[in-house]
Each structure stands twice: as C-alpha cells, then as structure tokens.
A and B are shown apart, each in its own frame.
Chain A
C-alpha cells in the first residue's frame, strides 16, 4: 500500500499522466470532434470509426476517461503539494542559517570561490540585504546571507494555481448556462426557457471606407419577467456587457427581411423573418414561405450559384422556398420588386436589415480560474526569477575572507555573478582566484 501511495503521488507518475494527456490532446485535435456517428464510419472505415466511437475519441475532452485522467492528475498534484508543504515551511522558518549551511552535504557550499577583503560590501552589492554575523566554534568571524527565500515556494504555488484553474474550469463546465437570442431592433424575445427576456433596442453595423466591417454594435435591454428588474447596455464584438449578472456577447449577424402576403390587393399578413426562418400563410393552411438568404449585390458565380459581389445595396435579391403541405413547391431568387404568386396570393419581400445574434452566458466560476491563472503567473516568476541563494565567508588567519556561495536554481550563473561583482569591487589582482 505504502509503495502504491508513494508511486501515486510521485513526480514520475505525474509525468506519465502528462504524457497520456498529451496523446489524448493530439487525438482530440487531429480527429474532428463532435461529429455524428456516420461521419466517423465513412471517414475512418467501419473498424476505425467503431473504435473511435467506442473509446470516445469523437469527444475526447468530455469523455469519462479524459475527465478521470484529469482528476487523477489533480489528486497526484494535491498529494505532492501536501507532502511537500511541511518541509517547505520548515525550510522557510529555519532552513537558511549559517549552521545549516555549514552542515549541508552539498559540495557546492564548500567550494571556496575566491578570497575577499570586504565580503560585507560584496554581499550587499549582490543583493543580500540582511546579513548574519557571528563567530564559528573555533572563534573565527563569519558572515552569512540568504536572499529570495520565497523562491522555494515557486513550484508549490504554481501547482496550487494549476489546481485552482482546473477546479474553476471544471465547476464552470458543470454550472455554466448559455443561451442565444437573435432578432432585429424593436423585437423582444424570451431568453430560451428562463424568466428573462431580451429587447434589441438598436443594432448598428459600422463599415469602413472600403466596405469592410469595422464593428457590430447592439443596444439591448434584459428584463427579469418575475421581478420586473431590467438593465440596458451596449455590446459589440470584443466588448461584451453584463446585464442582470449575465454576460451578453455580440456573436454574429445575418439578414432579416419583411415578408408581406397580399390577397386581391389587400395586405393580409406581414412578418419579419431572419434568414432561415419560415412563416405559415394563415389564410391558406399548409402553405409555408421560407426566407432562405439575402444578397445585397446579387450575382451568380461561375457554377450559377447565387452570391453577393459586395455589401452595397446595388442589386438586392431574396432567396426563398415555398412549401405546400410539407412538399417543396418552389425555390428561387427574387430580384428587385419581383413577387411570388400562388393562387390568389402574392408574396413579396422588402426592407432587408441586419439582425443580431446575442449570446448570453453565465459562468459563476470564471473568477476562480482567473485567480488560479494569476497565482500561476506570480509563481512562475518566483520559481524562475527569484532564485534562492546563499553566501558565506569566514575570516582566515591572514585577514582575507574565503567566500563560498550556492544557489540550486542559479547554478553556475550565480557563482559567475558573485565572481564578477568581486572583480568589479576589488579588481582581479587583489584576491587569489582559485
């Protein structure tokens, strides 16, 4: 058992887990995710497709074994951090003393780097602020210094930050809600099956001189139908707004148009449809008009398919489909003022305008992931740039001070730095370089 726990919380096991996660991630990025079963069968063959579906490679990042793997990595990380916590605390409290330094088995702490005349100045120039002075057991004076003690916490904090990020992300995946509402200015629609409704007050598409889109901006109002509370705001691409605790994103846009149904020169029905929507003709049961697409500058491509040449209203045209009792009656493009005539009915499209699709989201745990990310960044700076280092010098009989210094993370760089500073202060010729 002990052997098992030791392995379970070891770095070796962590690296194995990371290796498996990497393989899973590669699979998840190479195999298209979330397609229907028949796609995998036709793309990877019967056995390949079957295997992909059986192991869950069609949705790697949400399948049980991937989640389990992540949980095991977290447990391993928690264990590793718990195990290391007491020793880190001990080292922070009393691990950096001249006695500990001298009794260390690390050979790096024993090597005399050079002899200094004034180690105190040298050490403070090297960033050691608080120096400990004392007498060794055989009566020699010594000076000891330590800096960046906090650096030993870098890796520990990085692991903690990572755990918080994963926790925040995982909770968010479980608890977040996402809705989409689309419409044109003036419309109010329910936010799916919630108690909220959204009014689109205005929607503006800003174009540049060259006709490319600079920004889409929607002015919206969210209302809580239960409490009557409401809030308004503006949302544009890259600038979401928060209304009644929900984030609202300007997600996408498309064309909407007014469809009018006339009978014997009398307007009997009028609706606004977004592309892809349909309307039933109330006067004639079974007759359905679908507004498929709109082209502001209609042309046909080389295969004869409808498309738009620009975003200018040079030649507006509507693509429609007509159904009668679920059978398709016709499908065509209406240019300019053209109309569809079916029996006594005349159907026309007019007033094209942009509709907006607003995505609405609430993830109550984003803040947790954000805190984890901040901790990780700070921890990495601690781990990589605040490298713990120690220096020691004791006075020898001839009055010079043999200096030694050690930094596990700093390695030879730290020793170089000490030597350079020493040269700067005392000149290479003063001391005996060893």
Chain B
C-alpha cells in the first residue's frame, strides 16, 4: 500500500472512532439524565470499540508516515484524546466506575474534534524534530495529560457531588467523596510522575537540539506552571482541612493549564515550540 492509501484508511478509522466517541458521549448523558443502566452499559462498550478503532487509526498512520504520530497539532491532538481514553479505560477497569465516562467522554470528544479541524497532512520533519528524546517526551506527555484528564473528570464529579440529590442510583454509580478523592489522587500522581518525565526528557532534547536544557521558552514555562499547580494539589491533599474540595479545585485548574500549555501557548504566545 502506498502511504496515501494508508492515510485514507487512517482517515476512515479516525472518523469512525470520532463518531463512536460522540455516540458514547450521548449515551453517557442519557445514562446520567434518565438514571437507566442500559445506556451506561452500551456507552462503555461503544467507548471500548471506538478506542480500539482509534488505536488502529494511530497504528495505520504510524506505518504510513514511517514514524510515531506525535509531531504536529493534528497528530498530537488525536494522540492526546487517545491518551485520555486509555487512562479512562484503565481507571474504569480498576475501579469499575462507569459514571466517570459521562465526564471524560466530552473531554475526549472535544479534543478529537479539535484534531479533526487540523491539517492531517504528513510532513517530513525538520532536523531538530528528528530525535528519539522528542518521541519519548511527547509519548510521556500523552500519558501524563491523559491521567490529568481523568483526574479533572473525577474532581469535577467531586465538586458537583454534594449538589446532587441523594438517590440510590447516584449512590450506586458515584463513589463517596473519600473514594473520589483517592481516585483523583491516583490519577494526579500518575500524571505528575509522567509530567516530571516530560519536563526532564524535554530538557534533554532541548540540550541536544538547541544547546540549552532550560531557556524559559513559554511552552517550557507553562509546563512548569502546570507542574507547580499539581505540586500544590499534592501538598493540599496532605494538609488537613484543605483536603477534598480545595484539592479538587486545583486538579480542575491544573487541567485547564494542561489545555492552555497545549493549545493556548502555540496560538497565543511566541516560542520555539510554535511549530509543534
């Protein structure tokens, strides 16, 4: 198959996956709104199928392009959506916490929708971008951001849980505050570990490519801001009295920073990362 054919296949798979996420999102909303089990079950199944198709799309693109799909806005956005979805599925499997999907799927859909608006063209990489460290850097960003996406959804749930009327349905599907706090913490700690590695591997790449491992470029600075915000989250969880609500608030702000680091910095601020 020629690389063009690969990209056509990728395009089809990508569209199917996006449609799948959309359907799952609607089903999750119904599950929540109607308090019926069935749409929730189907939403879970469709998310898993869409995820499998999405994975196939990424593999096909990697084969077609001869490298991992981590290099431009489109590639990173679709991988980012994939990262959030895979972290969601891991947490779903680990905590049997289906209602989380109602909060995660809209985020996945927004990001994959953003990807759909970007140019899908495969371009050859400029020399500075041809680096294994860069591939490691971006791959860990996908895991890190995916985990933060999950913690964002859990923390949102935490924040609105109190406002929800007590019903047997919620009790069955939404864990208590203590458990939500723990799940969010697990997601943040995974995200924080990987974000630390994102910053370190980025520094190593910058050292190789630009001759300086830290130069306060806006993207670097925003990664550091995000890191600081999650560090505050981690410390707030430890201090009594601040646990719970304030920590959850920081997990939400942290993810807004993640999104800004990823989209806002490229479009609003200048820097060497502008092409990425």
Task: Kindly list chain A residues whose C-beta atoms are within 8 Å of the C-beta of B127.
Answer: 213-216, 236-238
How many residues of chain A have a CB within 8 Å of chain B? 47
Q: Which of A212, A239, A411 contacts B182 (CB 8 A)?
A: A411
Is the C-beta of B120 less than 8 angstroms from some C-beta in chain A? no
The stretch among A36-44, A93-101, A372-380, A398-406 that forms the contact with chain B is: A372-380
Which chain A residue lies CB-closest to B132?
Answer: A238
Complex: how many Å from CA A361 to CA B210?
Answer: 11
Given A29-B221, A251-B211, A381-B193, residue A61 in contact with residue B216 (CB < 8 A): yes
B216 with A33: CB separation less than 8 A: yes
**Using a CB-CB cutoff of 8 Å, which residues 182-228 of chain B contact chain A?**
182, 186, 189-190, 192-193, 196-197, 200, 203, 205, 207-214, 216, 218, 221-222, 224-225, 228
Task: Kindly list chain A residues whose C-beta atoms are within 8 Å of the C-beta of B214.
Answer: 169
How many residues of chain B have a CB within 8 Å of chain A? 44
Task: Kindly list chain A residues whose C-beta atoms are within 8 Å of the C-beta of B221.
Answer: 25, 28-29
Which chain B residue lies CB-closest to A178?
Answer: B211
Q: Mark A229-241, 1 if CB is under 8 A from B, else 0.
A: 0000000111110
The stretch among B3-11, B48-56, B148-156, B235-243 that forms the contact with chain A is: B235-243
Task: Kindly list chain B residues whose C-beta atoms are within 8 Å of the C-beta of A178.
Answer: 211
Q: Which of A29, A213, A239 contacts B265 (CB 8 A)?
A: A29
> Which of B124, B127, B229 has the largest count of A CB atoms less than 10 A from its CB?
B127
Is the C-beta of A156 less than 8 angstroms from some C-beta in chain B? no
Enumerate 24 A-B pairs (CB-CB under 8 Å) in ascending A order.
A25-B222, A25-B228, A29-B222, A29-B265, A32-B270, A61-B216, A169-B214, A212-B126, A214-B124, A239-B208, A240-B208, A240-B211, A249-B210, A249-B211, A359-B211, A377-B196, A380-B189, A380-B192, A381-B193, A384-B190, A384-B192, A411-B178, A412-B182, A413-B182
The stretch among A13-21, A116-124, A298-306 that forms the contact with chain B is: A13-21
Q: Which of A14, A208, A361 contacts B235 (CB 8 A)?
A: A14
**Using a CB-CB cutoff of 8 Å, which residues 378-433 of chain A contact chain B?**
380-381, 383-384, 411-413
Which chain B residue lies CB-closest to A169?
Answer: B214
Task: Kindly list chain B residues whose C-beta atoms are within 8 Å of the C-beta of A240.
Answer: 208, 211
> Which of A237, A238, A381 has the largest count of B CB atoms less than 10 A from its CB?
A238
Complex: how many Å from CA A416 to CA B196?
Answer: 29
Is the C-beta of B249 less than 8 angstroms from some C-beta in chain A? no
CB within 8 Å of A: which residues of B?
124, 126-128, 130-131, 178-179, 182, 186, 189-190, 192-193, 196-197, 200, 203, 205, 207-214, 216, 218, 221-222, 224-225, 228-229, 231-232, 235-236, 238-239, 265, 269-270
Complex: how many Å from CA A21 to CA B225?
Answer: 8
B200 with A412: CB separation less than 8 A: no
Which chain B residue lies CB-closest to A209?
Answer: B124
Task: Kindly list chain A residues whose C-beta atoms are within 8 Å of the C-beta of B189.
Answer: 380, 383-384
Q: Mark A45-71, 1 if CB is under 8 A from B, else 0.
A: 000000000000000010000000000
Q: Which of B124, B192, B232 contacts A19 (CB 8 A)?
A: B232
Which chain A residue lies CB-closest to B215?
Answer: A61
Q: A29-B221, A237-B127 are in contact. List 18 more A-B contacts (CB 8 A).
A: A11-B238, A14-B235, A18-B232, A25-B228, A28-B216, A29-B218, A29-B265, A29-B269, A30-B269, A208-B124, A214-B124, A214-B130, A238-B128, A238-B130, A251-B210, A251-B211, A381-B193, A412-B178
Complex: how many Å from CA A97 to CA B239?
Answer: 26
Task: Kindly list chain B residues whose C-beta atoms are within 8 Å of the C-beta of A169.
Answer: 214
Question: Would you give the shortest CB distance from B124 to chain A, in whole angstroms?
Answer: 5
Complex: how many Å from CA A230 to CA B250?
Answer: 55
Is the C-beta of A244 less than 8 angstroms from some C-beta in chain B? no
In order of increasing CB-CB distance, the 10 nearest A-B pairs are A237-B127, A384-B189, A249-B211, A29-B218, A29-B221, A238-B131, A61-B216, A373-B200, A380-B193, A212-B124
Task: Kindly list chain A residues whose C-beta atoms are within 8 Å of the C-beta of B232.
Answer: 15, 18-19
Is the C-beta of A22 less than 8 angstroms from some C-beta in chain B? yes
A22 with B197: CB separation less than 8 A: no
Is the C-beta of A132 less than 8 angstroms from some C-beta in chain B? no
Question: Would you give the shortest CB distance from A34 to chain B, in whole angstroms?
Answer: 10
Complex: how many Å from CA A262 to CA B31?
Answer: 86
A15 with B229: CB separation less than 8 A: no
